[in-house]
Structure 1
């Protein structure tokens, strides 16, 4: 997602110079900053049980955060993960830059591939990647929520937005990202619940009951919190 959120780090606030961030040069020799902070691709990670592969990238100061993106999304996936961490990016050009880096470092990454063990790290890269996609999906489809077709957005908190998403709309989200296996969906929801992103309903169910004022009836919904600075208005 190529966006500049309210609290993201942009070129002006960081006073980016050509020694900072990531700069590219076009055929005419003109230089352009495509990311105002440093980002290093540090590893290729595999979950052998689920046959999933991710790139791991480290974002430099002031973010200082590790992000993951699915290998099949290439450099653009890394650029989007960086943007989801709150960094302004020119996603398309940054993605092309990462593709060039991956082409030169692929052999090194393959030779040093590391295994992901959920029990050891407490991190589920797949579920985190899907959560980032959900944040982007809400951003892209904000109008549907504002008009009450897919659910509601509770923006009363200063730090997060509570996304109240109808069951049918949530099923569409999973279909859009091509996750059709029910067991895989439940594994994602379980991790989200553990992280506090998914607010459980009665008897600790993943879904909740919500009164739809527009339709004047109760509906099953999922209540998911997303960072407020990931949703621009």
Structure 2
């Protein structure tokens, strides 16, 4: 379901092409606040709002049918029905001409990596100043990437000094390591974390790979030494 963005872009009074924006957040007051400070700018136009990822996809499909796709989707991560990470992946797959900028309260690197891997063109924290949000939208519309300065610093640090050992594990992988050390099977891990058995198996494999281990027994020893679980009597 690929569709081009609108070919008849509107222009600001100064003749600049306007950037069309779709705001996606499950809090109406947040959407209204963002709309308020975007709409005072001549080169930005808020064309629609959505309260979750699924509603955003429905709106984009309807807009695509009329050749009126936005240029940028400004989206939160934690939302009902379909979260921002999943929606970002769907948007960039189904509407490749539309750029996605994440605006969220969550700055964990696991979430940053997931958003960027899913095709996001920007990642901002909600304590960002309005000029940063505006810049991120404009940069994304040009086809470039804009990152919150704090996020950019952490990404740079990862490149310069990549984490090793337990520090290399994501939050979910640490949870899996604890369950492995407790003697849980892949299916039991899946049940505990409410994921599929296949996903649990993948997490276990990633844990072993990152810790450079070859067995679950070795992983259990690492978890005990790291103080994640008490020694088994």
TM-score by length of 1: 0.27
Q: TM-score, normalised by structure 2?
A: 0.27
Higher relative contact order (CA 8 A, sep 6+): 1
User: Radius of gyration: which is bigger?
Assistant: 2
More helix as a share of residues:
2
